[in-house]
Amino acid sequence: KEVPTIIRYDVPKGSRFTAMSHGFTVLSYALISLSQKKPFLAFGLPGAGLVTLGSAIGMRALNRVNDFTGGTIDLNLTVGPGLTAAWISMLGISLIFTGLVLQGTRSIMKRLIVRNFGLD
């Protein structure tokens, strides 16, 4: 037998979140949980994507220099894309390194907790 559901929105202590703010709150908690449980996935994968993007921008900038100058280097032509590629790549490398350090720290802490307290 189906039981009817009663939903009331006029309760005195209702939610203070709108649908959008509640959605962003849930998403932020999910990302925090993911970064704590799998740090290399949460930081390393976006870092690898940024390194790839920076490399692609850098290669395009170098190709543009070669096309326009016929092999002679004119630095004024690619300063913007070159700096963009460098900054994006450095950010990606930093994220990869952060993911590796956090993954190593997590595994060391897990071993210490299991050894000292017997918790898993």
**Tell me: the pLDDT tens digits for 46-55?**
999 999 999 9
* Model confidence, pTM: 0.71
Alpha-carbon distances of 85 from 26, 69, 79, 88, 120, rounded to whole Å: 33, 20, 10, 5, 43
Is pLDDT larger for residue 66 or for residue 104? 104
111 located within any domain: yes
Residue 69 in any domain: the answer is yes
pLDDT in tens, 72-98: 665 566 678 889 999 999 999 999 999
CA nearest to 45, candidates 33, 56, 34: 34
Q: Which residue in 84, 86, 88, 92 sits closest to 47, CA to CA?
A: 92
Q: Indicate whether 15 pLDDT > 90.
A: no
d(CA 86, CA 94): 12
The boundaries of the domain holding residue 78 are 39-117
Domain count, the chain: 1
Residue 10, in any domain of the structure: no
